[in-house]
Structure 1
Amino acid sequence: MSTTTTTQPTSTSVTTLALAVAAGSQSGPPAPGGDKAASPATTAVLTDPQSSTNDELGIPDEHFLCMQMLDPGSVSAVGGVPAGNAIRRPVETNGGLTLTLSDDKKWENGQTVTVRFMGGSEFVRSKVKEYAVLWCQYASIQFQFVDEGDADIRVSFLNGGSHSKIGTDCLEVDDQDIPTMNFGWFDDQTSNAEFQRTTVHEFGHALGAHHEQNNPNLVVHWNKPVMYKYYLEHDHWDESTVDTNMFTPVIDADATAWDPLSIMHYKILPDFTFDHLSVPLNWVMSDQDKAFIKAMYPPTQGDKGYWLSSESGLFIQSSWSENIRYDRTYGKPPLLALGLNYLDAWHNPMGAYGIWLEAWAANNKRTMFDLHLQGFQVQNFGAGATWLEFDTATHPKVEVSTRGFSVDTPIPGQTWPIRFRHTYTAPPKVLVWLNSLAMGSGTASKCMGASVANVTATGCTVDITALNSDAVMFMGNLTYVVIPANTPNIQMGNVNAGVPGIGAVPGHFVTLQPQSNAIPVRFATAFSSPPKVFLALNALDYSRGDFVRLNAHVTDVSATGFTAHLDTWVESQMFGVTATWVAMM
């Protein structure tokens, strides 16, 4: 798994996968519906709470807290969690990690934990899936979402508070009709920021994490009368509930340092303490959250990871640069294969461009590289790039390169002949996906794709083509990857929602695709354990409207398959999307 300097942990030997997403904007309207543009800034200790009002984020004041569901057996007679239940700092972590997590409530490392929803709209369920798996980028754990039957975690959406059982305490609830987790205020109008904040927090509990204010290394003098009054008025909590959730420390002399930026921390208002300490409402996982959960559930194989725009807390900007630190030191800089997987663009109909997004890597070294995402004359509420890392020592005959064009006068497409640098005994596997695109606005459709053809043992052709006659292309760039045939522990293919460009085929008509598209994929041959799965865009077909929105991601990864998601949302009309997937150990 790759990391940013402010984010993630470790890569191992084989090919690694990683994903980065950033968000931004220029002038333009707020993102409609459930993706409001007004969003939280990066948080820091001793600052005022969230600058955006609760109303802007669609969250009533009383809905800011969850109640962690402690097993009574986990609380000692002196009011704390027994030392044996608290995870100590792992010896390999250099002492800089935090998070309060119960050792005896951990799942097995590498385990696939099943999750079943009990209610909730299709949109709300899709958002919980999207953000729950953020933990899986750092922990060697998979969440598999099932529609029926028994499940380790059962998620309800009953009005009221949000809460979760701690780790494997979920298994102590034998009745499969009783939820182990609840989201009390999610609906189709909830903002993405709030979906992420609360989902990540509750699934942190489900992995075994306690509230960070219960960390014994937090030395603070609580003003309990003020807090009792506040929580009674805002959350209808009695004093014992406040005591459990705010004043019950983990009893362990070796507990890790207190992390005021942890996603597991409640906000602390200045009046809550005689020290006037304040902690803001934390919207994203902290660096220490990510590092510690990875140390608790260390990778068992080649890993992947990704960074979402919402993880940074920055939602409104036009370009983004992130220093990505590899999870290990390579002998030589690895080969990087970048692709797009997240688009959230709005354009002024009077402007020249309907969509513009570039992704590229710079300063690729043995330990890190710089990721750049750039928009131009469009409003990007979000953008994303995903990448593969190939260790040249492990994969000496893998080839990665790019081809592309950028023009002032639009063209219908371009083809490039490719001659392989290596000699192959048989035609290799060649994959392509888009890493940059710019298309016209006005009456032009947004319809283009990358493809590969004529593969032999010595070369192939790759192209970028406008798939409709009215599609106007100003820029296109693709990544191609050449992998020797019969390379073990790797499988690949394409998935699609609709058929991009089908309207240009005589006798065929375009069909508007639903907003949520879940495509089950079954591997040709089962892996020995769940592989890591990469998914990137290689063709799209959107209407002449003002929004182009796509979230390509995977869930439910097992040794036999996974579910690919090609989703869009409000005011974006998708006629077709095709994406390339790669699964590898």
Structure 2
Amino acid sequence: MADNDAPHLCIEKTTGNKTLPLSNLRPSRSGSGPPSLAVLHSTFWNPGTSIRVKFMSGGTPRVRQRVQYYAQQWEQYANIDFRFVADDDPDADIRISFEKDGSWSYLGTECWTIPKDEATMNYGWFDDNTSEQEFSRTTIHEFGHALGCVHEHQSPKALIDWDREAVYAAFVSPDGWSREDVDRNIFNRYTAAEVEESLFDINSIMMYFFPGRLVKSRVGSPVNYVLSVTDKAMITTIYPFQTHNSGAWSTLSDRLWYPPVALNARQIDFDPPYPSPPRVVVGLTSVDMYYGTNLRVKAYADNIAESKFRVHIDSWANTELYSGDATWVEAEDADADYQTGTFDTQGLHPWNQPQQKNSARIKFKNGYQDTPNVVVWLSGFDMAKGHNWRIAVSADGIDKDGFTIHLDSWADTVLYAAQASWIAYAKGKDGVASGADDTRNYRPWYPAQEKNGRKVDFKAGMYNRVPKVFAALNYFDFDSARNMRIKVSTPQVTADGFTWHGDTWGDSLCYGVGVSWIAFG
């Protein structure tokens, strides 16, 4: 292959406006792409999409393995799953060939317009002797195109002062490009309305190498082999993960467990921000409370804006709350696939008229085409001391228009009030799974156990990378003669499943515990 001062031809294919860039020049051993990460709006995939990728003809086992490895570098920062499938899969979105006609890719979802027996991406110079740097540079770059990223030397923010005659001299030839080809592929730029771009980033993986002799300043671009800091931030903005932060908070991250504090809150930032205030669904994951007073606690979100919100874990009256943890998931306000809400038993009866059985019919704002999945979390409760603490939240009667939510206690428990949060999502939504489990499914309530939980398996083939799991309480049964201490967690998540834990400590007696969970991958 040529040296870094001899650009190698590479095609960035598009089926769109022929006055816009159709292809780009790229050196075989140098960087590639635009001065920053720019993406074409019209070719975006939906965040969370599983994009099916297959190899067509060619490519040794090593070459194919390296392409897959470097393609999936994007998945660390973009909510996209490149799902590599069998060579004979008839429904692959991206189809890779290894013909000797340069390296190129169609932009984003434009691959859907290409006949299924034709390639949508090509690598023209990979073999078993190709270096890791070259695999990294070219593969990450081409899969950037597959995500809708364009060469930003053709971005509206690109202000490269080309030496036009030098560029024509470098690339115009009888069996190559015409001057019109050079204009289209190097000088023409997208409009601001068509792309979303970051500030100029000469270190972008999409920044193609050009030698100094092609610009009037005589200062060329560097060779870029990996995603830049700006690339990572920008692609996360375009393909955000379901929750734009850790999705969890503990009061112990802000204070010691003792002395107890009634009002606890923390501002949580959305990174990246949302276009409008999102919906935030909050559930309790842990409490540590004194047994000698009524148990009163509530987790909730307020002050929700585009860039931040506040999460609370509060108690009131004489309750002594040593600590509390909460988890949450977020849904864009405009995302109709997700519907969310809360339920408070005080909408059925006053708190001072305790009632063990509480249920209500929840009607979706917009009906679903098919029966959706519904996840319910316990977010608050108010129970009397001196009686064992028992509560369960569940959903049944789920149909296209709504479901029935239940917040119940039993035996001698005195339940003054309780709150739950819920999230419904379209069945079959790409990359989303959910469920519920509790100790009643695998052991008797007596004797009490300190360590609880078990393995949950995802549906076979659901994920080929580790998803993010959010789990919160949906049930517990505790002895009221000891402090109420419980913590649920999912520390061991793989692409095949996870193990949930519902553990207590100290002298607390846990007769049962359960969780509801939702996973995004």
Question: So what's the TM-score if we normalise by structure 2?
Answer: 0.51
Q: Distance in 1 between matches of 2:465 and 2:482?
A: 43
Structure 2 equivalent of residue 330 of structure 1: 274
Q: Distance in 1 between matches of 2:249 and 2:356?
A: 34
Q: Is the 1:533–1:584 contact (alpha carbons within 8 Å) kept by the matching residues of 2?
A: yes
1:432-581 correspondence to structure 2 within 5 Å: 432-442=376-386, 444-466=387-409, 468-498=410-440, 510-525=445-460, 526-581=462-517
Q: Distance in 2 between matches of 1:518 and 1:456?
A: 30
AA aligned to 2:337 is: K
Q: Distance in 2 between matches of 1:389 and 1:110?
A: 19
Q: Distance in 2 between matches of 1:539 and 1:517?
A: 13
AA aligned to 2:332 is: D
Q: Is the 2:291–2:480 contact (alpha carbons within 8 Å) kept by the matching residues of 1?
A: no
Once the two structures are superposed, what CA deviation does each residue of 1:555-585 show, in whole Å capped at 9, x if it has no partner? 1211111111111111111111110011112
Could you say which structure has the greater relative contact order, defined with CA pairs below 8 angstroms and 6 or more residues apart?
1
AA aligned to 2:287 is: L
Q: Distance in 1 between matches of 2:500 and 2:445?
A: 22
Provide closer, same or farther for how the CA distance between residues 419 and 556 of structure 1 changes in structure 2, counting only shifts above 3 A. Answer: same
Once the two structures are superposed, what CA deviation does each residue of 1:133-176 show, in whole Å capped at 9, x if it has no partner? xxxxxxxxxxxxxxxxxxxxxxxxxxxxxxxxxxxxxxxxxxxx
User: Tell me, which stretches of 5 or more residues in structure 2 are unaligned?
Assistant: 1-45, 49-72, 78-228
Q: Does 1:584 align with 2:520?
A: yes
Once the two structures are superposed, what CA deviation does each residue of 1:301-330 show, in whole Å capped at 9, x if it has no partner? 726513332322443322111111111111
Q: Is the 1:497–1:513 contact (alpha carbons within 8 Å) kept by the matching residues of 2?
A: no
User: Tell me, which stretches of 5 or more residues in structure 1 are unaligned?
Assistant: 1-12, 16-106, 112-290, 503-508
Q: Is the 1:498–1:513 contact (alpha carbons within 8 Å) kept by the matching residues of 2?
A: no
Query: Deviation of residue 392 (structure 1)?
Result: 3.2
1:285-364 correspondence to structure 2 within 5 Å: 302=241, 305=246, 306-315=248-257, 316=259, 317-348=261-292, 351=293, 353=294, 355-364=295-304
2:321 to 354, 376, 380: 380
Q: Distance in 2 between matches of 1:423 and 1:318?
A: 39
AA aligned to 2:449 is: P
Q: Distance in 1 between matches of 2:450 and 2:440?
A: 12
Once the two structures are superposed, what CA deviation does each residue of 1:492-517 show, in whole Å capped at 9, x if it has no partner? 111223469x9xxxxxx631342122
Query: Deviation of residue 109 (structure 1)?
Result: 9.8
Q: Is the 2:393–2:406 contact (alpha carbons within 8 Å) kept by the matching residues of 1?
A: yes
Structure 2 equivalent of residue 419 of structure 1: 363
Q: Distance in 2 between matches of 1:109 and 1:412?
A: 46
Structure 1 equivalent of residue 344 of structure 2: 404
Task: Provide the identity percentage.
Answer: 23
1:73-112 correspondence to structure 2 within 5 Å: none
Q: Is the 1:413–1:473 contact (alpha carbons within 8 Å) kept by the matching residues of 2?
A: no
Q: Is the 1:536–1:579 contact (alpha carbons within 8 Å) kept by the matching residues of 2?
A: yes
Q: Distance in 2 between matches of 1:580 and 1:534?
A: 8
2:439 counterpart SS class: strand
Query: Deviation of residue 357 (structure 1)?
Result: 0.6
Query: Deviation of residue 108 (structure 1)?
Result: 13
* Regions of 4+ moved over 4 Å: 107-111, 298-301
Query: Deviation of residue 469 (structure 1)?
Result: 2.2
Q: Does 1:389 align with 2:330?
A: yes
AA aligned to 1:517 is: N
Q: Distance in 2 between matches of 1:462 and 1:518?
A: 24
Once the two structures are superposed, what CA deviation does each residue of 1:64-97 show, in whole Å capped at 9, x if it has no partner? xxxxxxxxxxxxxxxxxxxxxxxxxxxxxxxxxx
Provide closer, same or farther for how the CA distance between residues 108 and 330 of structure 1 changes in structure 2, counting only shifts above 3 A. Answer: closer
Q: Distance in 2 between matches of 1:465 and 1:516?
A: 24
Q: Number of residues paired by the alignment?
A: 286
AA aligned to 2:450 is: Q
C-alpha RMSD of the superposition: 2.9
Q: Is the 1:499–1:575 contact (alpha carbons within 8 Å) kept by the matching residues of 2?
A: no
Q: Distance in 2 between matches of 1:387 and 1:372?
A: 11
Q: Is the 1:342–1:383 contact (alpha carbons within 8 Å) kept by the matching residues of 2?
A: yes
Q: Distance in 2 between matches of 1:553 and 1:582?
A: 13
Q: Distance in 2 between matches of 1:539 and 1:435?
A: 11
